[in-house]
Chains A and B, each alone.
Chain A
Amino acid sequence: MARLEAVRVAQDAAYAASLSDADWYALSQDPDWQQLVAEQSELLTNVLEVHGHKLPGASLAASTQNELPPVGPFKIVGTDVARLQGLGVVTSLGQYTENMRMPGMLFMRTLRSRYPHAKIKSVDISKAEKLPGVRKILHRGNLPDVYKDVFLGAANPTRFLFSEEVFEVGAPIAVIAADSEHIADEAMRQIDVQYEVLPAALDMLEAMKPSTQKQFPNQLDGTIIAVTPPLVRGNPNDTRADATVEAVFHKPIEQHVALELTNSLTYWDNDKLNMTYTAQHAHGTRANLSQALKIPQNKVRVFQPGYMGSGYGYRSGIDLAEVHAALLAKLTGRPIKLNYTRYEDFVTRTHRNEFRDEMKMGVNKDGTIAFGQFKVFANVGAQRAGAANGSWVNMQDLYKIPNLRLEAIDVMTNSYKSGPYRCVSHPNGTFALEVTMEKAAYAIGMDPVQFRLKNLNETGNPDTKKPFSNPGMRDCIDAAANAIGWTAKWHQPKAKEVRPGIFHGIGLAAHTCSHGAGGNPSTGQIVINNDGSVQAISASNDVGGGQRTTMLMIAAESLGVPLDQITITTYVDTDNTTDTGTTAGSQQTNNGGRGMYQAGQDARRQVLDWAARKFKDDAAKKGGTLDVTAADIELVDGNVFVKSSPSTKAKLADVVQFKGGPIHGKSEFIQDTIWERLAWAAHAAEVEVDTVTGTVKITKYVAVHDLGKAINPFASKQQIEGGVVMAVGAALTEELLIDKSTGLPLNPNLLDYKPLSIKDAPLAEVIIVEKPKAYGVFGSHGLGEPPMGPPAPTIVNAVYNAVGVWVTDMPLTRSKLLAALKGG
C-alpha cells in the first residue's frame, strides 16, 4: 500500500473519496496528518465534514462530554516555577543534541542544487570519494533500490530522497560522510554535477497565470496547487453598505531561526535505528523515519534530550537529511553527526510563507458590519502544501459578519517551502482583518475599540454552530484598552505632533485562533514507588516553553503531592513513553497536560482505594473494625487520611508498601468535540513615528491573553513577552528574500535576515485574563502561538493613527513608510 499523503487528502476531494476504511484508520495515525490537525486544522475542515465519521474514535468523541475541570484553590497550579532543567542550562551539565558525540562518529554534509528547477543529469563522485577521510558518498546513482520510491510530504511535485527533477535551490543531490566537516566540505567541492536547467516559477502572481508552464500534473492554471471551495454565508456580493473599505495586504517570507541549528546524532544498534534529534515530537519523528526506512516503529528509537534550542514549528518531523543520515549510518556502520549550517537551516527547512490578502468590507454608519469579501493567496513554495485558508479563523469567528465570502488559493513556486511557524497562517488572517476593521472604523468615524466591541461574536462558530466556552475576547479588549489608556490617549490621525516631525499614535488589535485547543492523543502515566517517590511519565517534548515543568505541576496537583516528591525526566525516549502529540499548535497543556491530569486522577483513585484497605487492615490487626471506603479518604501533600478522623493517616510510601508493588496510573482519554475551542487576545501600542527618518519607535506595548487558567504564570508571561518580540521583528525587520532572476536565496544569515536584538526589542506589559474553559486542564487554553497574531496590525494601526497612512506591505521598513508619507 502506497504511503498516504495527508495534504493530498485535504486538498484533493477525489483522492479523499478513494480511501478505504483501513486507509482512514491509518491516516489518523500518520504524523503528517496529526501535525495538520495540531497546526493547520482549517486545512481539514472540508474533508472532515464529508469523511470525519470514518476516523477512529469519532463516534465515541461525539457522545463524550468530558468532566468539568476542578475550580480550585490550587496548591501548585498557578504558582511561578522556574525550569526544572535550569541547572543544566546555565552550567555545562545540560546536553543539547548539538553537544553530543559518540566514539567513531562521522560528520555528514549535503551537496545541494543551486538551481530552483532542474533535472539532475549526472553525478560524478569519483574524485571526491578518493579524498582521505571520506567514508561514504550517497546519491541517486548508488542509492539502494528499496529506497528509490521513498518521498516525504505529498506527491506532485515530489521530493524523493534524491530526486531526478529538483524543484528548489537546496534540494539534496549527494550526501557525504567523512571524518570531519572540513573534509566533507572539501569533498562536496569535488563532486561533479551536470544539470539541465528548467524554467522556474519565482513570483506567486506570475505563477498563477495560465501562461506559466506547469511543473506537475494539474487541472489548475500554472503552478496553482489548490483552490479551497469558498466559504459563503448570507449574501456577500449584493448587500449594500454605507461605506466600503478595501485594501491589499502582503506579508513576506519569515523563518523560525531557531538558534540551535537542526542537528542529529544517529546510529544503528543491531537492526534498530537510534536517533537523537532536535525534535518537537519524538514519536512523530519515529513514525516519519519508520515510514521512510520501511521498518516497523519498534525498530526505531528517537531521543529528544529536553535541552533543545526550540523549533517554533518546523521540527515536529523530519526532512530528507534525517533519512540520509540514517542511511549513511547503516551503510558505514558508524554514528553520523549531522549539523545543518545556518544557510541550510534557513533555506531547506520550512517557513511561514508569503501571503497576499485582498480584503473588502462593507460597514454601516450605525457601526454594524454589512459584509466581508476576503481572499487569501499563499505561496507555499516548492511542494504540495496548503496555507491560505488557515487565515480564515478570525474572519469566520471573531466578529458578527452576516454576509461573508472567504476564498483561499495555494500556489507552488520554486522557492522556500511553507510549513508551520508559530501560529502558522493565523497571524496573516489577524493582520488583514484587524487593519481592515480599523480602516472601517475610521471610515464611519467610530472609535476603533468601540467598533470592535460592538461587533464581537461571543456565542460560537456561526457556520458549524459549535459554542465557545467562556470566551474572554471582550475582557481582553477592555483590559488592553484600559492598560494603554485608550480613552484618554486616542486621537484623530496625524493630530499629535510630540516633537518636530515626530507624531504620536495609538493602535489596538484583537486576535482569535484555533491553537491551544488540545487534541488526541492525551496519554501519560504516573508511577508511585515503594518509598513514596513519584514518577511522571510523559512524551510531551520540551522545546523551551517549559513543557516538562508544566507537566510536572499538573501531575503533582492532580495526584495530590508536593513538587519535591515527584519527578519527570527532562528527555523523551520513544522506547518508554506513549505518544501524546507534537509540541506544536500550543497544544501540550491540553494534550500532554491532559495525559498527566488523567493519569494523576487514576493513580489517586488507586491510592485512596488501597489506603481504605490499609486502614481497615490496621484496625483489624488491633482487634477492631473500621468501615471506610475510598470515598472517605483524602490525599493531600503526599499524605492520606480519613476525612472524618484525620489522625488516621499514612504516607504514600506506607500505602504502596501495603499494596506490595508500585501503583501505576494512566490516562485513557478522548477529547470531546462539543466546543469551538479558540484562543483570545488583544494587544495595544503607542508609537512615535519620525516622518523624516521613517522610524517607528514603540513607546508602550500591552499584551492581554485569556488563558483560561495559567498553570505556570511565570512561563506563560514569558511566552507572551517573547512572542511579542518575535512578531514585532516580523512586522518591522524580518523578510527572507530571493533573487528573482536566479532563484538564489539572498539573505539566509543572521546579519541580513534581522531578528530583533536586545537593543531593538519592545518590552511588553503582560496581562493574563483567566476565564476557565470547560474543556481545559484546570480550565486552561494553551498559549505559545497566539502572541504572534496581534503585533503586526497593532503597529500598523498605531502608525496610521500617528501619521495618517496605511502601510499594508510587511515588513514596515523605513523606506516603505517614507514612500507612503510622500503619497505613494
Chain B
Amino acid sequence: MLGGAVVATKALNPTPTTTTTTATQLGPTMRRVTLDIDGVKRDVIVDNRESLWETMNFQLGLSNSNLGCDRAQCGACAVNVDGKAVNGCTILSARMGRGQKITTVAGLATGPGVSGLHPVQRSFWLNGGFQCGICTRGFIMSTVALLRTIPNPTDVQIAEGLSGNICRCGEYAKVFTSVKTAAAELRGEKVTYLAKPIFVDVVAPAQPPPAAAGTSKAFDFATPFATIEDFDTFIEPLKKRDGILDISGSERTITVKWDPAKLSEQQVRDLLSSLGRAVK
C-alpha cells in the first residue's frame, strides 16, 4: 500500500476492474474517454498506460486488429485515425477522446458474404495477399489509407506506403497484386482474381453500390498545405459543391472525382482557385 491520508471521495489506489464509477472515484492512472470506433461511440475507462489495441482487444473484445510487436515496428496493429494509418499499439486510448474517428476492418464491409466486402478486403483474400493472415488487418487498413491519397499507385508508391507493414510469411508478391486489383476496382474498373473462394451464401449477395460514374483526376497544389488538418478543413466546403462526387488527398495533392455532366476539368480548377488553393 502507498500510505498517506485517504480523501473521503477519492480512492488513491484504483482497482482497474471497476465497472461503474463516477469521475471522482477514478484513480490517478485511470481516465474516462469516449472512443469513436467504426462510427460507434464507446464510453470506456482506461489505464493511462493502455494502448488503443489493448482497449479494443481486451476491454471491448472487438478483434479488429492484431498485435505483432507492441512497439510500432511491424504494423500488424494498423488502424486508421481520421483516415491515416497508425499503429494501434503505440497510441494511448486516453488520448483518443477528442472526436478522432477510428476506423478498422470491422467497418469496411457494406454487406454480407464475399460480395459485401470492401474491394481491398476481397482482393487480399482472393488474390492471396496473405498466408497466415496475422498481418492482414494491418495491411488492409494501410492500403485503405494509401488508396485514399493515391488512387492509382505505382509499385514504388505501394512499397513506400506499405513499408511499415511486415509480412513474415513473405507474401509481398501478392500484396502488390492485391493492392493493384483493389485500386482498379475502386476506380470503377472490372477485376478478376487469382483464386476462387469456397463460400456458400445464405443471403442473396448485396447489391454492390452503383459505381459512381465520374471523372477522376489528381492535382498538385501550387502551394502545399502545412498540415493535413488544414487540408481537411479546406475540402469541407468543396465536398458540398454540386457535381463533386468524392475528394481525397494530402497536404500536397488533391484527387477530385466529379460528374462530367455538371462540371468540366477547367471548372474544377477554377473552383479550387476560388476557394484559395490553385492547383498546377
Contact = CB atoms under 8 A, between A and B. Distances in A.
Question: Do A and B actually bind?
Answer: yes
Interface of A: 79-87, 89-96, 98-99, 101, 130, 132-133, 179-183, 256-261, 307-310, 312, 339, 341-342, 543-546, 549, 552, 563-564, 714-715, 718-719, 721-726, 729, 749-751, 755-759, 761, 763-764
A87 B196 contact: no
Nearest to A82: B195
Given A132-B13, A179-B15, A725 B170 contact: yes
Interface in B19-45: none
A269 to B, nearest CB: 21
B163 to A, nearest CB: 5
B117 A91 contact: yes
B57 A99 contact: yes
Given A96-B66, A101-B58, A750-B74, A756 B170 contact: yes
Nearest to A721: B173
Do most interface residues of chain A lie in helix, strand or loop, or is the interface mixed?
Answer: loop
Interface residues of B, number: 73
A183 B15 CA distance: 10
Which 7 pairs, one residue from A and one from B, show the smallest C-beta to C-beta distance?
A544-B132, A725-B170, A309-B134, A722-B170, A89-B133, A99-B63, A750-B73
B194 interface: yes
B172 interface: yes
B124 interface: yes
B166 A714 contact: no
A98 B197 contact: no
A342 B69 contact: yes
B235 interface: no
23 contacts: A81-B197, A82-B197, A83-B125, A85-B133, A86-B126, A87-B199, A89-B133, A90-B125, A92-B105, A92-B137, A93-B63, A95-B63, A99-B61, A130-B1, A132-B13, A182-B50, A183-B16, A258-B168, A261-B68, A310-B134, A758-B158, A763-B172, A763-B173
Interface string B72-112: 01101000000000000000000000000000111011000
Contacts of B169: 310, 544, 718, 722, 726
Nearest to B134: A309
A101 B70 contact: no
Nearest to B169: A722
Contacts of A183: 16
B163 A81 contact: no
Contacts of A718: 128, 131, 169, 171, 174
Nearest to A753: B73
B248 interface: no
Contacts of B135: 259
A86 B15 CA distance: 40
B49 interface: yes
B186 interface: no
Nearest to A714: B195
Contact of A182 (B47, B114, B174, B195): B47
Nearest to A98: B67
Contacts of A715: 128
B198 interface: yes
Given A87-B199, A90-B117, A90-B133, 14 more contacts: A86-B133, A89-B125, A90-B140, A93-B63, A133-B15, A259-B132, A544-B131, A552-B198, A718-B128, A721-B173, A722-B169, A749-B71, A750-B68, A755-B168
A228 B199 CA distance: 52
A82 B125 contact: yes
Contact of B121 (A91, A98, A310, A724): A91
A705 to B, nearest CB: 15
Given A259-B134, A310-B168, A721-B171, A563 B63 contact: no
Contacts of B61: 99, 101
Contact of B76 (A84, A259, A341): A259
B136 interface: yes
Nearest to A726: B170
B17 interface: yes
B275 interface: no
Given A90-B117, A258-B168, A714-B195, A309 B132 contact: yes
A80 B131 contact: no
Q: Which of A81, A96, A549, A755 has the most CB of B within 10 A?
A: A96
B163 A259 contact: no
B69 A309 contact: no
B167 interface: yes
B165 interface: yes
Nearest to B164: A757
Nearest to A751: B73
A764 B171 CA distance: 11
Contacts of A85: 133
Contacts of A95: 63
B200 interface: yes
B201 to A, nearest CB: 10
Contacts of B76: 259
Nearest to A310: B132
A264 to B, nearest CB: 14
Contacts of A757: 163, 165-166
A732 to B, nearest CB: 13
Given A98-B57, A258-B168, A718-B131, A90 B105 contact: yes
B131 A722 contact: yes
Contacts of A310: 131-132, 134, 168-169
A260 B66 contact: yes
Contacts of A755: 166, 168
Nearest to B178: A90
Interface in B186-204: 193-200
Given A81-B195, A310-B131, A714-B194, A750 B16 contact: no
Given A310-B131, A721-B173, A759-B163, A750 B13 contact: no
Nearest to A787: B170
Contact of A726 (B16, B128, B163, B168): B168
Interface string B133-145: 1111100100000
A181 B175 CA distance: 34
A180 B29 CA distance: 13
Nearest to B67: A98
A783 to B, nearest CB: 12
A89 B171 CA distance: 15
Contact of B170 (A91, A308, A723): A723
A94 B173 contact: no
Contacts of A257: 168
Contacts of B121: 90-91
B62 interface: yes
B32 to A, nearest CB: 17
B131 A179 contact: no
Q: Which of B17, B114, B160, B173 has the most CB of A within 10 A?
A: B173
A180 B198 contact: no
A545 B128 CA distance: 11
A552 B199 CA distance: 13
Contacts of A84: 197-198
A564 B125 contact: no
A824 to B, nearest CB: 32
Contacts of A89: 124-125, 130, 133, 136-137
B16 A133 contact: yes
B162 interface: yes
B64 A307 contact: no
A86 B167 CA distance: 16
Contact of A714 (B13, B124, B128, B172): B128
A321 B184 CA distance: 47
Contacts of A761: 170, 172-173
Q: Which of B125, B136, B158 has the most CB of A within 10 A?
A: B125
Nearest to B117: A90
Nearest to B193: A82
Nearest to A339: B67
